Structure 1
Amino acid sequence: MVVQGKGGGYDASMNLPRLRPLDVVPVEHEGKTMFRARDNEGIIEQEVVLPPVVFVVWSMLDGSVGLADLQDRIAERFKGTKIPLQDLENIVRDLDEHFLLESDRLAERRREIADAYRNAPHRPPKFAGLSYSKSPVQLSIELDGYFKGEKGAGLPDGSAAGEEVRGVIAPHIDFPRGGWCYTHAYREIAQRSRADLYLILGVAHASPPNPMVVTSKSYHTPLGPAETDRDFVDALAKRFPRCFDDEVVHRNEHSAEFQAVFLRHARRDAPFTVVPILCSAFEMYCGPESPSSAPRVEEFLQALRETLEASGKKTCIVAGVDYAHVGPRFGDKVDLDQKLVDWMTAEDRKSLDRIREGDAEGFWQSVVADGNRRHVCGLSATYAALRLLGPAKGGLLQYGYAPDPAGGIVSFAAAAF
């Protein structure tokens, strides 16, 4: 869907709505440079492509300008180019109609989506048929293929040597790029976990204001449902009533869904329940300081610990996280070369050393000390997992990275505790 600017009738007597914080990257579309907007909230169901002029208008909408001001700013920036007010009005209207602006129309759509999710009986597999097969038989074949592949962990053989695993770190990158790495974490679960409850800590890429967001919905997968433990989440809500705030972010988030899929495959017919929690950016509460200094984060972690202890259930913590996101695709003004890869892997290794030691605070500082130059999206979820696991040593199973098609590199790892 290409936003062309064919609307009209926008009220020019007041400031225009500001842009939404979307993930926008330049792309080639029909032989021309365009800008693709990706919506982590999932409000925009189709891919949106912005022509250059529309992108410029969108990028200048900060909530403080009217049409005349916008016209002047564009003329100043582009050496006298003056877009007619009617054309600007049409573009703004079209942007609003496509839910690209923070407007009343968008607010109403958000309410509709939140109500629909709240009333749904379960969370459907959003990415089935996109990131993995929606056929149960074909999906099982796909997942087994990752286990048996050149870099895979090998199929579980039924042995259970060693202590029971208390937690794992797995990727949340799409399966075609990182499926092999998932297998090293989930082979540990298949062979060394008999947990009743899996606490899934994913990443809320939409960055809601609630630091940790719980859902009461079971995550359905083509292999069967990962049933959410309603007794557990109800008990957690009594200790931390705001845990369901922003629950709708689960609707479009892949990081927990991908863990539910691999869990269903790894544990097959074994009975278990899950508690899916999405971690937002703790930095919103503590900046570069430790999240332990942020009361709202600490209150949630304490409530979660107390609920885990009171449940009496054998629990395994699953962190679905990726690490570095570097390169032009992620805003880095650097060449995508071996020097960048070497720097990324060296810094990642420092962070992974802290993970192996079970050092939550050391891990946090290893990422934020330079302002999170690596754009580590799994920062908060990994920190939360390490805090909940307590003084537990981990074993690094695998580390890897994969290219981003738009010009970047994403790193990920598998570890077990």
Structure 2
Amino acid sequence: MSSRKATHAGSWYSSSGAELSQQLDVWLNTAELLHGPARAIIAPHAGYAYCGECGAFAYRQVSPAVVKRIFILGPSHHVRLRGCALTTAKTYTTPLYDLNIDTQTNTELEKTGAFSWMDAKTDEDEHSIEMHLPFIAKVMENFKDQFTIVPILVGSLNPDQEALYGNLLADFFTDPQNLFIISSDFCHWGNRFSYTYYDRSCGQIYKSIENLDKKGMDIIETLNADAFTEYLRKYNNTICGRHPIGVMLSAIKVLERKGYLMHFKFLKYAQSSRCKEMHESSVSYASGSLVFEC
């Protein structure tokens, strides 16, 4: 496959380049630069009507003049994948402009023996990576010929596998010209998600969901991979990007042992709707940024 199509354009976000560019501009100009320059961000991957404004807070922390290579770690929603997979495409299409794949880095990662390859259908069906592409294109538009992307589809990893991939990717985090995008929505609540955890001491259901999410967000801010794993075991919170997050936290664990100082901060939280009744449902979104201290 030479080029991956923008298969979710027109449904999950605008297929009009002009309209999409204007919409992204509004969100990015509204968000504040509070915690940058980002070396990694966590941002959502739902339809832009639900999470676009939230996602902009993460992308606002990116310094486009510095970035040359962007890793995108997205969870697999449609295929069973026990490890991580790379794309065979040479470019990814967006309504703004095409993004070039870093085939040299793909070759380097393949040589580790830890990565497989996505087939074309898996690649084009998956939204967890695609939903970040317009944001990348917009933020990097003044440098559009000066960067490449490395999409990585992340499967259902156990903690040992998260540690393995974190170790393989850790050195890439140390280069300020690299940016990591960790694609994740947060709690998927409701019967249709088979998850209805409700702590009534919090009040309304949506407040319980927020409290649950923020417990996890607080742990992510501590950069403690083991504590995040334990949180997931305790609450089973349906954070769909938990494995990409686990890979990032595992990489940070490696770097902390080498003496690197890093700080993560969440900047925005939102829910698709405020659930008050047990028959309702919602998805939560959070955006945050990782910086390296001098």
Q: TM-score, normalised by structure 2?
A: 0.83
1:340 & 1:225 partners in 2: Cα distance? 42
Q: Which has the higher contact order (CA 8 A, sep 6+)?
A: 2
Identify the residue that residue 274 of structure 1 maps to in structure 2. 149
User: Are residues 1:393 and 2:263 paired?
Assistant: yes
Identify the residue that residue 210 of structure 1 maps to in structure 2. 82
Aligned residue-pair number: 275
User: Are residues 1:380 and 2:250 paired?
Assistant: no
Residue aligned with 1:243, SS: strand
Task: Judge conservation of contact 2:15–2:95 (CA < 8 Å) in 1.
Answer: yes
Structure 1 letter corresponding to 2:218: D
Q: Can you give the 5+ residue segments of structure 1 that lack an aligned partner in the other structure?
A: 1-119
Identify the residue that residue 125 of structure 2 maps to in structure 1. 252
Cα RMSD for the two superposed structures: 2.9
Deviations 1:1-46 (A, max 9, x none): xxxxxxxxxxxxxxxxxxxxxxxxxxxxxxxxxxxxxxxxxxxxxx
Specify whether residues 219 and 331 from structure 1 end up closer, same or farther in structure 2 by C-alpha distance, changes over 3 A only. Answer: same
Deviations 1:154-175 (A, max 9, x none): 6x8xxxx976321111111210
Identify the residue that residue 126 of structure 1 maps to in structure 2. 7
Task: Judge conservation of contact 1:214–1:247 (CA < 8 Å) in 2.
Answer: no
Aligned pairs (5 A) from 1:37-186: 120-148=1-29, 152-153=30-31, 164-186=37-59
2:125 & 2:209 partners in 1: Cα distance? 29
Residue aligned with 2:266, SS: strand
Task: Judge conservation of contact 2:165–2:247 (CA < 8 Å) in 1.
Answer: no
Aligned-pair CA distance for 1:355: 1.2
Deviations 1:80-134 (A, max 9, x none): xxxxxxxxxxxxxxxxxxxxxxxxxxxxxxxxxxxxxxxx211111111111222
2:27 & 2:46 partners in 1: Cα distance? 14
Identify the residue that residue 415 of structure 1 maps to in structure 2. 288
Aligned-pair CA distance for 1:243: 2.6
Residue aligned with 2:20, SS: helix
1:332 & 1:129 partners in 2: Cα distance? 30
Residue aligned with 1:199, SS: strand
Q: Can you give the 5+ residue segments of structure 2 that lack an aligned partner in the other structure?
A: 257-261
Residue aligned with 1:367, SS: helix
Task: Judge conservation of contact 2:94–2:133 (CA < 8 Å) in 1.
Answer: yes
Residue aligned with 1:206, SS: coil
Aligned-pair CA distance for 1:305: 3.6
Which sits farther off after the overlay, 406-415 or 269-278? 406-415
Residue aligned with 2:78, SS: coil
Aligned-pair CA distance for 1:369: 1.7
Identify the residue that residue 179 of structure 2 maps to in structure 1. 316
Structure 2 letter corresponding to 1:222: P
- Bigger radius of gyration, 1 or 2? 1
Which sits farther off after the overlay, 167-176 or 240-249? 240-249
Task: Judge conservation of contact 1:168–1:414 (CA < 8 Å) in 2.
Answer: yes
1:176 & 1:386 partners in 2: Cα distance? 29
Q: TM-score, normalised by structure 1?
A: 0.60
